[in-house]
Amino acid sequence: MPRELTKQELHYLAMNIVGKDLEKRGFEFIAIESKLQKQPQFVCVDKNNQRYFVIVKVIMLPDNPNNYDVVWMETFKVHAQKHEAKVLYAGVGLGNLEGNHLPILKDQEYLLQYDGIQFIDSNLN
What amino acid is encoded at 119 in this protein?
A: F
Mean of all residue pLDDT scores within the chain = 94
Which 3-state string (H, E, C) describes 31-92? EECCCCCCCCCEEEECCCCCEEEEEEEEEECCCCCCCCCHHHHHHHHHHHHHCCEEEEEEEE
Domains of the chain: 7-120 (3.40.1350.10)
Residue 93 pLDDT: 98
Average pLDDT over residues 32-39: 90
CA 62 to CA 64: how far, in whole Å?
A: 6
DSSP designation for 111: E
d(Cα 18, Cα 94) in Å, to the nearest integer?
Answer: 13
pLDDT of residue 124: 57
Give this prediction's pTM: 0.92
CA distances from 30 to 33, 65, 116 (A): 10, 25, 20
pLDDT digits (tens, 9 = 90+) for 63-86: 999 999 999 999 999 999 999 999
